[in-house]
Structure 1
Amino acid sequence: MKVLRPGRRARRRTVALAAIACSTALVLAACSSGGSSTQNTGGGGGTGNAKNSSITIFNGSTGTITENFNPFMSGTALQPTLGVIYEPLYYYNLAEKSDPQPLLATGYKWNDKGTELTITTREGVKWSDGQPFTAKDVAFTFNLINKTPALNTTGLAATAKAVDDTHAVLTFKENSFTQEPSVLGNQAIVPEHIWKDIKDPTKDPNVKPVGTGPYQLKSFSAQSYSLEKNPSYWESGKPQIQEIRYIALDSADAASAALTAGQVDWMSSYLPGLDQLLKGHKELSYVNTPALTTSIFTCSSTELGCKGPQTDPAVRQAMYYAMDRTQLNKLAGGGFAGEASPTLLLPDRDKDWIADSANVTAPQTADTAKANALLDAAGWTKGSDGIREKDGQKLSMTIQTVTGWSDYISINDTLKQQFKAVGIDLKPTQLAWNEWNANETQGKYQLSLDSIGLGASSNPYFTYQGKYNSANTAKVGDSAAAGNFARYKNATVDAALEAAGATNDEATQKAEYAKVQTEIIKDMPYVPIYINSTLTEFNNSRATGWPTDDDKYAFAATWKAWDNGIVLKNLTPAK
């Protein structure tokens, strides 16, 4: 049975998912209108009448729900905080190639030096308590971040000033074009009249949230909570669904049972045999939006203290070519995975950013001849047991994953057999999430199976900067929490990223990213396997208008910040 495993970004919010206790019993608590916890056996609620419409959402929560709607505490805030209750200035759709969508702002403009960003705010917006939203709230939000280092999770270095009610100016100390998506699309704007009186914004759970989003909090319990339509919402005619309920479930079995019983309307879970499961349930549908590149992370730099055969680029290249990705998708991905790119970009969405068409996708079948040739040339010779060795060192490496992540466990078991064909001995090991994560962060591993998630925007900078810039790594034993877990160092890559980050001219950026791609494909510190499926299931009997394969107007996953608000306000009650 598959344990629910959202993407890395979501896992850092919902660590408990890695330790779900699987149970076949259906546990489905929901809020009553009075806010108390009750057992719900009558479905997600709602009748198709817009006045009384409601839906039930399962976003991966397990166990007791802790009340926290603080938009500055993204690691612990409840999922609808960002996007459903609070909104950013713009929405960035990472499911497809598209321009940012105006939300609380209607325009922005940089000065030539990239040190001043002028934002035009939307007129006629009100907070859910009826107070007017103005540019002063925008300036207050960014100044609060600037003066409170603990809130500054994106490295934002800006002060802000409201010129008038509809214009705010952010001033940066240096060129900051690359901070545009973080400023515009990844920061909740909060009301000054509420937050100016909050003594410690780093700890306050904000149990009475006041936002500009389509919904406001109605009731809360430790098992579930409800949100209702924000009567002050600025977008005319939205949302049409009156109430939404978030629930906790025990396991993948419980989630599957809840979906087919009509007790959940929206969830994002990998369910084995999904097509077969949905047979006979015409009201159910799903969308698959592969977005997270499942990869072998390697501790790659001997200079920074990494030890083992994986520090040899030839070994990393050989692993890349020795994989039969079609088999891996069939056995571990359920056939839902997408083709990965050695550039670590998304082949469909990001094709225009990939310099060489030969690198759009990785080979789908094993090229053992090429893998063997690479290892032969690097001096790795096969011993009597078929395993290669060099200078007395066996070509044997340990790869870690998390106990219970059955798809990743299946990948490792399959790779063990595939790599053996070219003389590589792979030793899979399973660890508790905390130990696995600590090993990656501190570089205390040889190989680790993980996924590379979505950046602040589809611009490659937000994939490459975190994973490949040497400024974001550290010696083995020290924390590389900024994202370069591979301990990768390459001066050419660093220089190209610095040049790309200093301009917002796409032609210049493409030229610099071409240099990055040449180096990372040669060095392969992260060995891509496939684009992991992101399966999201819907019940269409109470609401319609969900994202589809043909209309990915938002990233459909229930756990995805910002997108959840876009999805909910685009739904209509089923007739």
Structure 2
Amino acid sequence: MSSTLSRPRRLGLAAAALLSLTSLALSGCAGGGGASNDAGGGADNTSITVFNGATGTIAENFNPFSSTALQPTLGVIFEPLFWYNAASDDPPTPLLAESFEWNDDGTQLTIKTRDGVKWSDGEPFTAKDVAFTFNLVNETPELNTTGLAATAEATDDTTAVLTFEENSFMQEPSVLGNRGIVPEHIWKDIADPITETNPDPIGTGPFKVKDFTAQSYLLEKNDLYWEEGKPAINEVRYISLDTADAATGALLAGEVDWMSSFLPGLEKILADNEGLSYVNTPALTASIFTCSSEKLGCKGPQTDPAVRQAIYQGIDREQLNALAGGGFAATASPTLVIPDRDADWIADPENTETPANANVEEARKVLEDAGWVEGSDGIREKDGERLSLGIQTVSGYSDFISLNDAMSQQLREVGIELKPTAITYNEWVNNLNIGEYQLTLESIGLQPSNNPYYAYEKWYNSANTTPVGESALNNNTARYTNPKVDEALSVARSTNDEAVQKEQYGIIQEEIVRDMPYIPIYVNSMLTEFNTDRATGWPTNEDPYALPATWKSWDNGIVLKNITPTE
């Protein structure tokens, strides 16, 4: 699983295992899971079982400040002030706060908190908890993963004021939607909030921890939850399995009610199992990352923008979707904005979508104009350098391996030799971060909000990159530098005027569409499967009220409090 953005990777499932019910590997379902225990039960004892990709031993950690916290910690147990739906462009939904307001220069954020909320131990939630949480982060650099530079004060029980050192409009989603609020009466006595595992978490979320083992853990309904009538489900069990095939078998046998996996032959699986449904919420742009800057130490033909443009024009995305995407992938944009969701942020309509099919003639012309001439074997060369490129992916990432194999054949027609390499996950992450690659496959998406600023700041700002050999910390790993882009980002971050921001994004888009340090392929499918025999009200393609992926923090809490027992 990727350490940058594409956590929901393909699990490499064998198609034969998916269609067979005679070889279910269910031994990893410790205790049988909540679902099987409650089959046929009514609303009073409804339980569902979730597989969110965990394999092997589960390490107990419900610390909402920890990067290794168990996934339901954020959203299911601890809540943010607001919730941002990555599946839509809707305004943020109030949770622990009801409203917020910036001062004119973006240095002070006033938050009105929700009255009447209680912690799961019965203590009242107030704005003092909000101020305590942000001050704890500000005072503890190890907890400050979002670059927050603010102090907080509770001016009364329902008002918290955050004061920033400089204009901080663009920190809004991180502050409001990406920080779990903790109870001051508990955390003020925690000696080391960095290493604390918080085994008995006290939160405001719809569920609380009931039981924990190294193979599974059980959450139960928080009877003190502030939203009337929710949740309707009594228990949620999260399980760990030995293999992905076991998860598929468990889904087919009704032992798992919610999972997010790419399943070859999904339509047939659903046709043969009336109690199963699925939703596809593409949000991650599968892309070819290029080590692009010769100045920062990148080596190889990919440092030539003409080569990157030729690759962009030379791949047949329709064929790639059929071969590697199962037909579920959506069309990407060369601007890296998600077209189906956020097209309003695209300045030039001609840059709305990537080409569906290869334009071999255009790709060849781009290379010829840049001095790349065809060699005796059809592969181009320039100044004695052969247009041969290595492309890395992770062993077991079956869809990306298929992409590499198919693109290798497609790009030979252009005169580009692609040499795929499958390596271990740890090696792949290291190479990506330090720039030890020419091309690599990765995904881009799921930033704090749908405003393109967050993707452009992360992936294109020269301040977020380093020379080859030094870690770029999963930010601008393409080593892309462009003063025009940096300046446009500076202007965009200094305002919350969307018209001004869009103007600046137009400048950025013109540059990145030409330079193409990240070459978009398609918006990868994000398939999530549900068992509707025990619960209904799951997100649908028609009503994506939350991003339903089981690995997605924050959204899990929204989904679990909105599903209802099947009658």
Residues 187-225 of structure 1: CA deviation (Å, up to 9, x unaligned): 000000000011111111000000000000000000101
Partner of 2:432: 440
SS state of the match for residue 129, structure 1? Answer: coil
C-alpha contact 2:168 2:494 (8 A) present in aligned 1: yes
Structure 2 unmatched runs, 5+: 18-22
Partner of 1:58: 51
Q: Distance in 2 between matches of 1:97 and 1:10?
A: 20
Q: Distance in 2 between matches of 1:48 and 1:289?
A: 31
Residues 145-194 of structure 1: CA deviation (Å, up to 9, x unaligned): 00000000010000000000000000000000000000000000000000
Partner of 1:565: 557
Q: Which residue identity does 1:501 align to in structure 2?
A: R
Matched, 1:388 2:366: no
Shift of 1:50: 1.6
Matched, 1:494 2:486: yes
C-alpha contact 2:35 2:49 (8 A) present in aligned 1: no
Out of 508, 524, 527, the residue aligned to residue 516 of structure 1 is 508
In structure 2, relative to structure 1, the CA distance for the partners of 1:154 and 1:41 (3 Å cut) is closer
Q: Distance in 2 between matches of 1:419 and 1:131?
A: 63
Q: Distance in 1 between matches of 2:116 and 2:356?
A: 53
Shift of 1:51: 1.2
Partner of 1:33: none
C-alpha contact 1:44 1:56 (8 A) present in aligned 2: no
Matched, 1:504 2:503: no
SS state of the match for residue 417, structure 1? Answer: helix
In structure 2, relative to structure 1, the CA distance for the partners of 1:105 and 1:40 (3 Å cut) is closer
Matched, 1:242 2:266: no
Matched, 1:484 2:480: no
Q: Distance in 2 between matches of 1:251 and 1:475?
A: 38
Residues 261-304 of structure 1: CA deviation (Å, up to 9, x unaligned): 11111000111111111222111100000110000000000110
Q: CA RMSD in A?
A: 1.9
Shift of 1:381: 0.2
Shift of 1:254: 1.2
Partner of 1:315: 307
Matched, 1:120 2:112: yes
Residues 99-157 of structure 1: CA deviation (Å, up to 9, x unaligned): 10000000000000100000000000000000000000000000000000000001000
| Normalised TM-score (structure 1) | 0.95
SS state of the match for residue 349, structure 1? Answer: helix
Matched, 1:537 2:529: yes
C-alpha contact 1:48 1:574 (8 A) present in aligned 2: no
Matched, 1:525 2:488: no
Q: Distance in 2 between matches of 1:263 and 1:19?
A: 18
Q: Distance in 2 between matches of 1:453 and 1:112?
A: 30
Alignment of 1:320-359 (within 5 A): 320-359=312-351
Q: Which residue identity does 2:223 align to in structure 1?
A: P
Partner of 1:26: 25
Partner of 1:69: 62
Partner of 1:191: 183
Matched, 1:79 2:75: no
Shift of 1:444: 0.8
Q: Distance in 2 between matches of 1:313 and 1:44?
A: 58
Structure 1 unmatched runs, 5+: 31-36
Partner of 1:139: 131
Out of 289, 299, 311, the residue aligned to residue 297 of structure 1 is 289
Out of 198, 203, 208, the residue aligned to residue 200 of structure 2 is 208
Q: Distance in 1 between matches of 2:186 and 2:12?
A: 36
In structure 2, relative to structure 1, the CA distance for the partners of 1:16 and 1:544 (3 Å cut) is closer
Alignment of 1:91-170 (within 5 A): 91-170=83-162
Matched, 1:43 2:43: no
Shift of 1:7: 8.7
Residues 56-83 of structure 1: CA deviation (Å, up to 9, x unaligned): 100000011110000001x311110000
| Normalised TM-score (structure 2) | 0.96
Q: Which residue identity does 1:572 align to in structure 2?
A: T
Shift of 1:47: 3.4
Q: Distance in 2 between matches of 1:331 and 1:374?
A: 27
Partner of 1:34: none
C-alpha contact 1:260 1:278 (8 A) present in aligned 2: no
C-alpha contact 1:473 1:483 (8 A) present in aligned 2: yes
In structure 2, relative to structure 1, the CA distance for the partners of 1:6 and 1:336 (3 Å cut) is farther
Out of 5, 18, 25, the residue aligned to residue 9 of structure 1 is 5
SS state of the match for residue 348, structure 1? Answer: helix
SS state of the match for residue 440, structure 1? Answer: helix
Q: Distance in 1 between matches of 2:493 and 2:37?
A: 47
C-alpha contact 1:306 1:476 (8 A) present in aligned 2: yes
Q: Which residue identity does 1:441 align to in structure 2?
A: N
Q: Distance in 1 between matches of 2:254 and 2:3?
A: 26
C-alpha contact 1:126 1:233 (8 A) present in aligned 2: yes
Q: Which residue identity does 1:421 align to in structure 2?
A: E
Shift of 1:260: 1.0
Shift of 1:27: 2.7
Q: Distance in 1 between matches of 2:326 and 2:54?
A: 23
Out of 459, 466, 475, the residue aligned to residue 474 of structure 1 is 466
Out of 365, 374, 390, the residue aligned to residue 373 of structure 1 is 365
Q: Distance in 2 between matches of 1:535 and 1:289?
A: 7
Q: Distance in 2 between matches of 1:275 and 1:288?
A: 12
Residues 342-365 of structure 1: CA deviation (Å, up to 9, x unaligned): 000100111100011111110010
Q: Distance in 2 between matches of 1:463 and 1:42?
A: 39
Shift of 1:486: 0.2
Residues 81-106 of structure 1: CA deviation (Å, up to 9, x unaligned): 00000000000001011010000000
Out of 212, 219, 222, the residue aligned to residue 230 of structure 1 is 222
Q: Which residue identity does 1:237 align to in structure 2?
A: G
Q: Distance in 2 between matches of 1:42 and 1:337?
A: 31
Out of 394, 398, 401, the residue aligned to residue 393 of structure 2 is 401
Partner of 2:20: none
Q: Distance in 2 between matches of 1:300 and 1:484?
A: 10
Partner of 1:414: 406
Report sequence identity in percent. 63
Q: Which residue identity does 1:86 align to in structure 2?
A: F
